[in-house]
Structure 1
């Protein structure tokens, strides 16, 4: 779809502007099922009900929206059609690659996740993602946009630290992804995408400010202030995992010592419990702790206290209305949250010491769903003349 050359103020220009208002309403503000009634569209857009009815009829004939019969013409449900295209979210982590396909509102249609080697090169990773996208994309649909999440600070589409993704060192990810898929692409740090998903559809929905901490192979945070992602001047805001907890502590992959990540990442907990549960996965450690294993419970307690101390600095500075714990560690739930809250109360100022801390309901999928939302929100929806 592209913009028209209609003269400003003309009937054609007004019609196109009104059509765009309806399309953007469907994309940006649709309920969970992706549908509005025509009466709801009229309220959301401020257009007259008769105008909305005419626009819905035109968009339906153009194959851009689908309608389902309801109570009366204006009670019929309206949602974006796959004829308007689809978007894809791609999340590439240290040991996983996940792909999601959605309509242009960001409504999830299908997703798939697979393990990868930590040293997988960027070309091989993008080729695998491309194969997955093509397999999952509904037949006959047009891929409109790619949202790509990468584990590391991203500036102008380039990963600034390759500690977690060594195969992406110095790569212009935006150009490489655009070349691989042949379509528009948006690149974002995975923690920011997790924060976007939590803010839009997760436990932070309804909060205008929140901090989402993603704990997996690394520890990063996405920050939402006044309903907008805060990225910082170079895209590296939220590197919570590299706050120094003890300058004489363990050596971190970033080259510093005693970073929060060395105490709270999945690998840190596995190392801490290695003597008692050698080779245990996070799932197995969580199960052991839930069953009463003292060592496993202590590992989560220690990690949580360290994390709470780091979060105290964040809430003192930013005063978010909520903190979300996500990533792989979210599955530990109250095993870690209880001590996170304790650490926060010990080190935060009284006005913010009771900041709510909750586990993500999206878990390891948050960054993937965020990449899908990013793709949808970056897709232009304009009509042909």
Structure 2
């Protein structure tokens, strides 16, 4: 039935409602605003106007009434150098779980529709663990967090989950190229849904990191964003026009396998000289462990860099320049508003960001390189799990506001 048509029959217990009335229109507009807040997280009124297509006056009036009804919270912020009002949806009855599977860990967060973290915890996993072990650990951790936070399982509207590797959307299976080779061939969605018995949504962890920057991070008006996660592997997620970009079958953002040195080392993907072979934390650890009595860790890289160790600084500089070069190739194609660096090295800040910026500026078209915002993620190791929770709100808004 079209919006301006009258129903042919009306149940006796309910008065006829005119879908074209002013009150019905206002209700639909409020629902649009609510859905956008659930999908995009806290936003300024100007951002809501752009994303919903509603006028600023309509947004202002509806937000004012929603605030009076305590459906949203208004907070003064600065946006693009101007004072603005951030609108946050007040939701605490609907809860989403975000799960981040890593090579040696699983992290679970519980978040509500107001984008507040209610509980979170990380558990270690042995290197080379099987998928079943990782999923069982995540299930136990979720149950533990629900008890700890006093949350009923019935409040869970779903769980989002990410894995460091590509997922073929046609088959739903983890495919070759994942940092967790033991997971290749499994259908993460079906296996996780079977274990948790709630709706499940899955994606590559770098995609979830990008989604987290858009929904949980302070990205201002950025609608085109690139997130690159630098860890044992290197992957990226793309937000184009305000939405995650998945390509034709879900495998995108494999920037770690861009060729940097055609005569370089053989990569785990089978090619030679990929970015991962020169700039991943695994490569840094290998280089800096040579001649050392004990293998170093990523934590050691952070400590040694902070102490000004020459070898560590050189490794970081070389890696940063290579990363910047790879980012320039992507930037020249899509010209994003901002590029966000994530992963365990974000604590290094400008120390690592500076060589990345030099590589980007050297290899990008000048006007593109100079126009892109380059920053470290402020979400640290939580980004992928937070993005996984946001993925639920992106896919289940009707179950929250119906």
- Bin of the TM-score, shorter chain as denominator length: 0.7 to 0.9
State the distance in 1 between where 2:107 and 2:182 align.
17
Q: Is the Cα–Cα contact under 8 Å of residues 353 and 376 in structure 2 kept in the other structure?
A: yes
In structure 1, the residue matched to 2:310 is 294
State the distance in 1 between where 2:214 and 2:265 align.
34
TM-superposition CA deviations, 1:177-206 (whole Å, max 9, x none): 111111111111100110111122225342
In structure 2, the residue matched to 1:24 is 35
CA offset at residue 167 of structure 1?
2.6
SS of the residue corresponding to residue 353 of structure 1 reads helix
Q: Is the Cα–Cα contact under 8 Å of residues 302 and 345 in structure 2 kept in the other structure?
A: no
In structure 2, the residue matched to 1:155 is 168
TM alignment of 1:277-292, pairs within 5 A = 277=292, 278-292=294-308
Matched, 1:111 2:126: no
Q: Is the Cα–Cα contact under 8 Å of residues 252 and 258 in structure 1 kept in the other structure?
A: yes
CA gap 1:136/1:312 in 2 versus in 1, 3 angstroms: same
State the distance in 1 between where 2:318 and 2:161 align.
33
* TM-score for the superposition, normalised by structure 1: 0.82
TM-superposition CA deviations, 1:279-323 (whole Å, max 9, x none): 121122222122121111101001011111111111111111211
TM alignment of 1:202-213, pairs within 5 A = 202-213=217-228
CA offset at residue 276 of structure 1?
5.2
Return the match for 1:305 from 289, 297, 321: 321
Q: Is the Cα–Cα contact under 8 Å of residues 26 and 80 in structure 1 kept in the other structure?
A: no
In structure 2, the residue matched to 1:38 is none
In structure 2, the residue matched to 1:35 is none
* TM-score for the superposition, normalised by structure 2: 0.79
Return the match for 2:17 from 11, 14, 18: 11
CA offset at residue 88 of structure 1?
0.4
SS of the residue corresponding to residue 123 of structure 2 reads strand
TM-superposition CA deviations, 1:48-76 (whole Å, max 9, x none): 977x699x5xxx9xxxx799xxxxxxxxx
SS of the residue corresponding to residue 398 of structure 2 reads coil
State the distance in 1 between where 2:219 and 2:28 align.
32
Higher-RCO chain (CA-CA 8 Å, sequence separation at least 6)? 1
In structure 2, the residue matched to 1:361 is 378
Q: Is the Cα–Cα contact under 8 Å of residues 90 and 99 in structure 1 kept in the other structure?
A: yes
Q: Which deviates more from structure 2 when the two are superposed, residues 327-336 or residues 122-131?
A: 327-336
Return the match for 1:90 from 96, 99, 108: 99
Gaps of 5+ in 1: 1-5, 33-41, 68-76
The count of corresponding residues between Structure 1 and Structure 2 is 354
In structure 1, the residue matched to 2:391 is 374
State the distance in 1 between where 2:90 and 2:7 align.
28
State the distance in 1 between where 2:41 and 2:138 align.
28
Q: Is the Cα–Cα contact under 8 Å of residues 167 and 174 in structure 2 kept in the other structure?
A: yes
Q: Is the Cα–Cα contact under 8 Å of residues 243 and 310 in structure 1 kept in the other structure?
A: yes
TM alignment of 1:212-231, pairs within 5 A = 212-231=227-246
Q: Is the Cα–Cα contact under 8 Å of residues 87 and 106 in structure 1 kept in the other structure?
A: no
Matched, 1:145 2:161: no
CA offset at residue 166 of structure 1?
2.0
State the distance in 2 between where 1:336 and 1:48 align.
41
Q: Is the Cα–Cα contact under 8 Å of residues 160 and 202 in structure 2 kept in the other structure?
A: yes
Q: Is the Cα–Cα contact under 8 Å of residues 160 and 170 in structure 1 kept in the other structure?
A: yes
Return the match for 2:138 from 129, 135, 138: 129
CA gap 1:17/1:345 in 2 versus in 1, 3 angstroms: closer
CA gap 1:319/1:86 in 2 versus in 1, 3 angstroms: same
State the distance in 2 between where 1:235 and 1:153 align.
8
Q: Is the Cα–Cα contact under 8 Å of residues 215 and 266 in structure 1 kept in the other structure?
A: yes
Q: Is the Cα–Cα contact under 8 Å of residues 203 and 324 in structure 1 kept in the other structure?
A: no
TM-superposition CA deviations, 1:156-175 (whole Å, max 9, x none): 23212253112321111111
SS of the residue corresponding to residue 352 of structure 1 reads helix
CA gap 1:315/1:142 in 2 versus in 1, 3 angstroms: same
Gaps of 5+ in 2: 1-5, 11-15, 44-56, 74-86
TM-superposition CA deviations, 1:349-378 (whole Å, max 9, x none): 212222332111112211111001111222
